[in-house]
Chains A and B, each alone.
Chain A
Amino acid sequence: MPAEKQVTAEDLAKGQREISISEFFVKNKHLLGFDNPRKALLTTIKEACDNSLTYDMPILVRKKGKISLTKIGELIDTELKKNKTKICISRDGGLEKITAQESIEALAFDKKTLKLSFHPVSTLFRHKVNSKIYRVKLTSGRYVDLTAYHSVFTIDKGEVISVPTTALKVGTPLIVPRSSWNSDYTMSEINLIEELLMLDPELTKKIYIHGINNILTDDVINQLKGIFPESRKYRINDFKRFNYLPFNILRKLKIDINRLSDSRLGYLYSPHKIPVIINADNKLAELLGFYASEGSMLRSLNRIHFSFGDHEKEMVNYLADLFEKIFKVHPKIKKAHNTAYNVISNSSIICFVFKHIFKVGDYANSKKIPEIVHSFSYNLKYTFLLAYLSGDGYPSKELFKLLRHKGILPELSIEKITCATASSELFIGLQYLLSSLGLSYSTGMTNESERIINNIKTKYGKSYQIYVYTSGKDSHLNLLPIKDTIIGTTDSKLRYSINRDNQINLSFKVLKTGLSAQNISVYRNVKTLLESDLGVLRIRSIEEIQYDREWVYDVSVPNCENFVAGVGAILCHNSLDAAEEARIVPEIKVEIKPVSEDRFIVIVEDNGPGIVKEQIPRIFAKLLYGSKFHRLRCSRGQQGIGICMTPDTLITLGDGKVLSIENIVEEKPNADLFVLTPTFKFGLGKIDRFWKIPSPPYMVKLDVLRGRSIQLTPENPVLVIDEGGYKWKDADDISEGEHIAVAKKLGTHVKDCKIPLFDFLDEEVRIDNSEFIGTILENLKKKYKNWNSVAKRFNIKKDQIKGWKKTYIRRRPNKKILELFADDLGISKEELIKNCTRVGKLGTYITLPNYIDDSFMRFLGFISGDGHSQKESANRWGRNISFWNNNAHLIREFRKIAKNLFGLKARTIIHSKGRGQMAQFSSSLVSRIINKCGVPSGKKHNTFRLIPLLHRKDLLRPYLQALFDCEAHVSKDRKTVSFMIRNDAMISYINMFLLQFGVVGRINKAGEDKRIVISGIENICNFNKEIGFSHPKKKNILKEIVEGYNNGSRETELIPFIRKKIFSLKNKLKIPYKEFPTPQVICHKNKSVDMTTLQGIVNFFISKTDLKKPPIELQELYCLLNSNVTWTKVTSKKRVEKRHNYVYDLTMAQGNNFVANGIIVHNSASCMYGQLTTGKPAKITSKTNPKKLAHYFELIIDTKTNEPKIVQEHDLDWPEKKTGTKVEIELTAKYQKGNQSVDQYLKQTAIVNPHLSLTYINPEGEKSEFPRATNQLPKESKEIKPHPHGIELGILIKMLHDTQAKTLQSFLQNDFCRISAKVAKDVCEKSSLDCGARPERIAMQEAEILYKSLNATKIMSPPTDCVTPIGEELIIKGLKKEVGAEFYTAVSRPPSVYRGNPFIIEVGLAYRGNLPSDELVKIYRFANRVPLLYQLSACATTKAVVSTTWRNYGLSQSKGALPAGPVVILIHVASVWVPFTSESKEAIAHYPEILKELKLALQEVGRKLATHIRKNVRAKEQRERANLFEKYIPELASSLSILSGEKKEVIKENLEKKLKKELPLLLGEVKQAKNEKDTDKE
């Protein structure tokens, strides 16, 4: 363990950064399905312990003695900006803090005396928003916006304690400042020069100081000469002559500014010049007060004016006088119009002073309390307030009087002063001012509205009201909660109040008198509280608010840990301490214990600081949620997305109801679903769990031959059959042409329960059954003695009851009251239903069948098909229900049904234009019932949905028959029944309905329409048998078709890939060809066999075998033959972009699948991870302090809310660890060894994390140790916001959706790096989108345009310092640790950028040693320190290795292949956004920039390798070289001899002689040339 100082968990909990277990999880997210680092433990821990205020929250601070009220965000942002170099960034950039550089003090209270005063701030923080933001509003109208974990103070039994936001409730008393707080510092004058010097020189460049001749000493002139170049020396003379100096020159001069106190300030050439010293006296306070209420400035800063009504003439003169006295400038008084006077001064310098020094804000809705007012003394503040109130308050005349004679508010005759302002900042400032003055007030707000004044409509903006209580008597502030104040009292009146619970507060006055009379006993600290500066206000409301900024803020006030913030001063707790990060070198133990063949317990243990008890559930909830562990490789899905389908997927419940999965998951019915049993029959299974998970970026859409289709997450397995038999296959792996299982028949079982039509009636429908009602009323009278009591009991009028008893038809009780009566009298529902057969409204009654029956369903079918019911608004008195059809038989039937069901006579109308006949009757009641059944009025095309209650086989049969009678078409030639309706949703429903009857419809597209086509012998026969037609013509045709089939037509259903099975069974049973009944099956190439043939074959086999011990193949064949599924070809597989925000899934208690959209899909159970797979809770042990006990938790996740639920929790002794965390998760998985195993994964993890000490026990009990190679912890990396060139369209859409920014512009500016306001506007303009548009409303197409214009805009490259490499040294250390080799080298490339994302490539290489020399090189790939185990060949790293010419570096390599040799290459790609080829994050995408860097890095290590290899072979090489000449010489000699005719031997001899002489030189050359070459390449 290094000697670094260790920190306790409690400290860490507040400001934790690195916890080793979390780091481990980040690195092992492949194991855990954690691909998004945000989801990982590291982040969750950080998130769990942050707390802060939002940007806009005002905070009162004192800086250099001056008090100001600023937004906390502004304060901290400015400080951070000013001291960029001193910022300490931690938690991946999630937290920035800075030690207060200059003295900043915040108002805080002393814990002991509870007195308010300013205390120094030690540290300023800001961190990323990580929780919901709540606005806590108090009774007086004060409010504060807090993160969920921030604390405020409350009172508990007399004690002032802190509570987190989450613990607050409406009514909770909160501590607020009560009495005045004032600084001891009082300002007597303002030296404008001093103030101006503090401003940006850019601002003051037009300001001139006049009257400076007295300071132009020789010394100053010399200084000036130094400033101006020779050519501009004349200016100095100008200054002298005109007696002025540009202000910015002053900045460069070394002079005592006090010597300038008599000079004056002016603005450019303006004649107005104001004194440098302005007294901070009543006059100024009054002027500022008036400005706050009535003043305004032009934006150009050349006119300031105060406007008054004509009744305020007195004030106008007073103000003009004030103005002149202060600024020595005479303002104009102008009658603006009939009723208004203005005091105007066209002085830029005064405007400047107001804006930049007094900081008054310039417009009605941006005005604020001038900053200096906060530094005023009590009296001056008071004066300011009075002046303000005179202007804005009511009654203004009295207030003005008060101001004139310096009176105080209680002198007023009224108790409440109302003032209103449009500026929220002024509103907040005033609240602070009032509370600093100890005045009580309450607030109100008026939204925008229109008002009519003098017959002119005017729009009034939002305005805020403040009510100031003059006497302070009834102030909320002077009350304390009784419960937490008084222990007991002897005052009987008071005791009565307390006991009756109707008084919850107690005023200070009562308390004080009670205390002095000694008839009240109070909690210990109440007396202190009474004397203190603090008061109590109750919470009026707590609401979550939208917060569109990136950061939240906090300051740290040592010793006090509180400060005053919020709108209207609320005391906030400050718990985010300056905890230093725990620098503990990680030590991790991983153990996988087998439970059964496919079940394991994973135990992960670390030596981190542990996790504080309260945070464990939060942290692990996020860990467990959405994780999975499928074949140890479930790294798929962006955010741990499981296997899910789109919300509109239809599922048939056991009782026949067809519901969308969304409805099932949202409503969670206690329903059975169809589950495919191993014999391929459907059984029923209970739903165990429901899933709703954010959608992945794309879904897989499978279309099958029968027109069904389903959209699944890529990982969702479906059942497929192929040569090898049937198996589950991930949707993404399925290709076109494969056969998947599709339900053939979902034979629902019908619970024979009757559905009363009574339930479909509206409450106000009246029941006409005088006899029955008479009996009820009599019984009621008996029960309640008289009518009065009956009336009272049911809250009705006596007259009403009397009316019911009369025979007058319009007076009948309605359904609602009748039900109440029946309930009261204990009359059963059946009886009620039986007696409510005549129903209606106001005199028109119809009969109503008791229960829904066949003919009702048939009626509904007619309406669904060719019927039409008028819309509600169409006819007030009745709604026409009509049925069009050109078949007289059906029309007659419709009329008959109407008569039988409702007792209504329908007219028959024959349409003039030959559109056939129409039967029509009118009844709004029947219309309502039809609507309630799910058949809408008016155009029913897209809203039609039969309600699930009616999805019952027995009810569907007549319904479908009627529907098909109307809408279906029977084709004799094609032998099909087709059904067409313009309603996509309905088509899928009907298809699912048909499935219940074993009729498999095919959905065909016919242009825009879709139709269900029923074809094939089985389907047609089933249709005929189960549903059929009553339409005579259609009935006949169908009959003919069926008869045609019976005369020897063959079935069409095929079972694919079955020939092999039959063949092997035949061989197994040793049946010769001759005996085999259908040898063509065996011989034929077609792998499919139709059902009839299969039936024959199975029968044959059965006759040949011993049925007591049937072979497995036979059983399988039998199952397939009698199965409820049909194997259907996948016609298309597409990836579709996500359309829904969420996807859904179910987990079955029995079986592992269910039927969705008629397709059999695998359920979650076996794929989801941990608890999700085994239902076992995660067990977590955490020890945070060596001296304390550890905490043990068992945790499960509520799948509905994704919130953690603690099953068990207790303390536990864990002596072997000082601190640490242990997590135990049981899950279903498969353990395997080899290249893509956990073992390999951990080994590679150890390589890239040399600081990690890892112990691993595999399921076979073998223990491996990966010791630590260094104690050096990796550097932290900074977080940056995404660069616009670096994001994909899908991510942009997601960002748009998730952003907290309220406008597009702020979204662009805040959510991306390197986008300035100008660029943002530019982009908006380019994409012709409004800057102010709400980001989440940007449609897909618009987002695409936005994306394009973002990419088309030139934007600065992102900062590259956010990526941190492992480092060459550590890579070598890691390699040395795990790979035994002779030579190691590593290269870390400098950061580079691809598509706006910075990245770093690092390559390590190990050579020779234990490595096998006759194999291809091994590549270890890492992305952000996470090993990549899959898709080696698809990875950019592999491509880079292959395309590097290793032959240059001494390795052999065949073209297009990896080099061969005893080499391990380690490649690490670190980036803020590693581009993977797919969501499974297994291979890095081929971006040219990345490939280039990869190649450069590889070449670099290659050269190093080559140098190493060459060193060894150089001697050999030299020998070879010398040899070369020896070999050349005979050749040259013979050629020369041919050429010249000279003798070969002579030439040879001479050449050899020469060689001997030349050789040493030549070898030297070799060496030299070699070196040159090498240095070149280096």
Chain B
Amino acid sequence: MKKTQTKSNSKITLEQLGKNLVQQVKSMKNPEITLPIRALSNIEYNKKTGTLQLGSKEGKRSFFNLGHAKKFLQTVEVASILKKELLDTGKHEHLRGVFYITKRTIPGTNINIVDEQVESDKVIEDLEVITGLSREQLHVSANKMGSMVGNVSLIDSGDTIDCSKLGRGGYSIPSITDELQFKKINAKFVLYMEKAAIFERLNEDKFWQKNGCILITSQGQTTRGIRRLLQRLAEEGNLPIYVLCDGDVYGIYIYSVVKYGSIALAHASERLTIPSVKYIGITMDDIVKYDLKKQLIKLDEKDLARIKQVSQYEWFKDNKEWQKQFKMMKEFNGKVEIQALATKGVSFISEKYLPEKIKNKEFLE
């Protein structure tokens, strides 16, 4: 397993990369890096594991090529920064920080090595696939964007944290969750939700206490840290994971990422995906069942295009249940937010909606 590689392994891998390139330069070759193509065209859905995996197509990045020169320079530059500033010193840095270290002007020109953070982020992901090291192993972390609450206690950097005693805010999930250790897990399931607002609602209603579960939220798209945490809870705690999202195609996509993985991180699928995840809501059937038609938000062209795209994903294509959802969505020509449930009462979601769903096992897979 790659995750067992030590820090020095990461360093060596990077050095190996450098040495390789220098060798090419010395033999008067055009220096080039080979890396798998990370695009939908090179993504495969592995039916067996139920995850997205990177295919075998490879691309080349060389220096003496007008189209590649800058990218090549960026890759080498970032790699050297990771080695020199982080791995050598053992420090961790945020993506944003890496961007700022990289962002400088080439002397004698008005050209920046990177102009936007997207560029450096991309290069880091590239380096992940080039070296086979994870971002965490390269000592790059992302923003903390999630909270957890529930009957679980864990050890984070030596501190023991009881997630049932953390007030309204809950435990703030760090960007790297590989090193957390679970001390005690006393829950029947994990409820992961897209909306922090709902998290707060459920936490206030002590939903987790009443239902014996763990609540986890991110804000928007699920971060790596949370995905890894969820995966570990599922595997190590043997807990079922339920995903609660808005009843729209983006919500479904969040579910899809948690369950199958994403295109951008297909290379890390096995560390991040949780095939056992179940989608709890909001489903299109809920709109009928809980009479949410008045709360529908009309679909725009973008939504419709996305529905078309997502519904054609290989892993959804043959799933009748999901196709039914997409079809209904188009029929309603509308989407619905989780918060729409508040029209039935502020605590409707914690007192009625979720318990009922869980009791009746109304999940989508």
Contact = CB atoms under 8 A, between A and B. Distances in A.
Contacts of A1534: 80
A262 interface: no
B25 A1551 contact: yes
A1142 interface: no
Interface in B214-229: none
A1569 B72 CA distance: 19
Nearest to B82: A1539
Given A1524-B69, A1527-B109, A1539 B15 contact: yes
Contacts, number: 86
Nearest to B23: A1540
B288 interface: no
A1553 B83 contact: no
Given A1536-B22, A1558-B30, A1527 B76 contact: no
23 contacts: A1523-B109, A1524-B69, A1527-B109, A1527-B111, A1528-B69, A1528-B70, A1530-B107, A1531-B106, A1532-B72, A1532-B77, A1534-B80, A1539-B18, A1539-B76, A1539-B80, A1541-B18, A1542-B18, A1542-B19, A1542-B22, A1547-B22, A1550-B26, A1553-B28, A1554-B30, A1562-B66
A1555 interface: yes
A1301 B123 CA distance: 73
Nearest to B70: A1528
A1109 B313 CA distance: 92
Contacts of B73: 1528, 1531-1532, 1535
Contacts of A1558: 30, 64
Contacts of A1149: none
A298 interface: no
A820 interface: no
A1540 B64 contact: no
A1550 B18 contact: no
B113 interface: yes
Interface in A1499-1524: 1521, 1523-1524
A1416 interface: no
B17 interface: yes
B63 A1532 contact: yes
A1565 interface: yes
A1525 interface: yes
Interface in B88-129: 106-109, 111, 113
A1538 interface: yes
B21 interface: yes
Contacts of A1538: 18, 80, 83-84
Nearest to A1569: B66
Contacts of B202: none
Contacts of A1530: 107
A1393 interface: no
A1523 to B, nearest CB: 8
B348 to A, nearest CB: 42
A353 interface: no
B106 A1540 contact: no
Contacts of A1546: 26
Interface string A1537-1578: 011111000110011011101100010011001000000000
Contact of A1527 (B19, B22, B28, B106): B106
A1535 B80 contact: yes
A1521 B111 CA distance: 12
A1547 B80 contact: no
B111 A1547 contact: no
A1547 B84 CA distance: 18
A1531 B77 CA distance: 8
A678 to B, nearest CB: 60
Contacts of B69: 1524-1525, 1528
B167 to A, nearest CB: 45
Interface of B: 14-15, 17-19, 21-22, 25-26, 28, 30, 63-64, 66, 69-70, 72-73, 76-77, 79-80, 83-84, 106-109, 111, 113
A1540 B109 CA distance: 26
A1542 B84 CA distance: 14
Given A1551-B25, A1555-B64, A1566-B66, A1536 B76 contact: yes
A1572 to B, nearest CB: 12
Contact of B22 (A1521, A1540, A1557): A1540
Contacts of A1527: 106-109, 111
Interface centre among A1524, A1530, A1535 (most CB of B within 10 A): A1535
- The residue in A1530, A1531, A1539 that gathers the most chain B C-beta atoms within 10 A of its C-beta is A1539
A216 B76 CA distance: 95
Contacts of B30: 1554, 1558
The 3 closest A-B pairs by CB, nearest first: A1539-B18, A1540-B18, A1538-B80
B301 to A, nearest CB: 14
A619 to B, nearest CB: 54
Given A1551-B25, A1558-B30, A1536 B18 contact: yes
Nearest to B75: A1535
Nearest to A1555: B64
Nearest to B14: A1539
A1566 B66 CA distance: 8
A1540 B25 CA distance: 12
A1045 B21 CA distance: 102
B139 to A, nearest CB: 15
A1448 to B, nearest CB: 18
B43 to A, nearest CB: 28
A1525 to B, nearest CB: 7
A1539 B108 CA distance: 24
B76 A1528 contact: no
A1540 B66 contact: no
Interface string A464-483: 00000000000000000000
Nearest to A1558: B64
A1550 B27 CA distance: 9
Given A1531-B106, A1539-B83, A1542-B18, 8 more contacts: A1521-B66, A1535-B80, A1536-B76, A1538-B80, A1539-B15, A1547-B22, A1547-B25, A1562-B64
A1547 B28 CA distance: 10
Contacts of A1547: 22, 25
Contacts of A1540: 15, 18-19, 21-22
Contacts of B18: 1536, 1538-1542
Nearest to B78: A1535
A1547 B27 CA distance: 11
B29 to A, nearest CB: 8
Contacts of A1531: 73, 77, 106, 113
Nearest to A1543: B22
A1541 B17 CA distance: 11
Contact of A1536 (B21, B84, B108): B21
B128 to A, nearest CB: 16
Contacts of B76: 1532, 1535-1536, 1539
A1524 to B, nearest CB: 7
Contacts of A1521: 66
B76 to A, nearest CB: 4
Contact of B79 (A1539, A1554, A1562): A1539
A1519 to B, nearest CB: 13
Interface string A1099-1137: 000000000000000000000000000000000000000
Nearest to A1521: B66
Contacts of B111: 1524, 1527
Identify which of B15, B30, B64, B69 gathers the most chain A CB atoms within 10 Å of its CB. B64
A1557 B72 CA distance: 19
Contacts of A1565: 66
Contacts of B28: 1550, 1553-1554, 1557
A1413 to B, nearest CB: 22
Nearest to A1565: B66
A1368 B63 CA distance: 46
B108 to A, nearest CB: 6
Contacts of A1539: 14-15, 17-19, 21, 76, 79-80, 83
